[in-house]
């Protein structure tokens, strides 16, 4: 084998290992940001600013609340 082939195989294994590490163990956390009168745009913006995550309004009993979903910090 040439040095270039060995080096290429090594790089492929290294990159695959890094990708596997990024995907594995990525747990999602949740935070209830707005407990009443949720507006979708405000929910999304607040969640992005606070946690760099995604926000969505959902009906909680008789009011709409904002639930933020984001990758947990380890």
Per-residue pLDDT at 43:
93
Q: What is the pLDDT of residues 2-28, one digit of tens each?
A: 866 655 565 566 555 555 555 555 688
Q: What is the pLDDT of residues 38-71, one digit of tens each?
A: 999 999 999 999 989 999 999 887 889 999 999 8
For the domain made up of 3-71, give the CATH fold. Defensin A-like (3.30.30)
As given in the structure block, the two tokens for residue 24 are 């594995």
Structural domain boundaries in the chain: 3-71
* Neighbour tally for 23: CB within 10 Å: 8
Q: CA-CA distance, 9 to 46, in Å (whole number)?
A: 44
Per-residue pLDDT at 66:
93
Per-residue pLDDT at 18:
55
């Amino acid at each position: 084998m040439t040095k270039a082939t060995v080096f290429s195989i090594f790089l492929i294994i290294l990159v695959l290992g890094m990708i596997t590490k990024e995907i594995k163990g990525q747990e999602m956390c949740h935070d209830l940001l707005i407990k009443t009168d949720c507006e979708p745009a405000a929910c999304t913006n607040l969640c992005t600013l606070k946690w760099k995550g995604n926000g969505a309004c959902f009906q909680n009993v008789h009011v709409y609340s904002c639930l933020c979903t984001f990758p947990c910090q380890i």
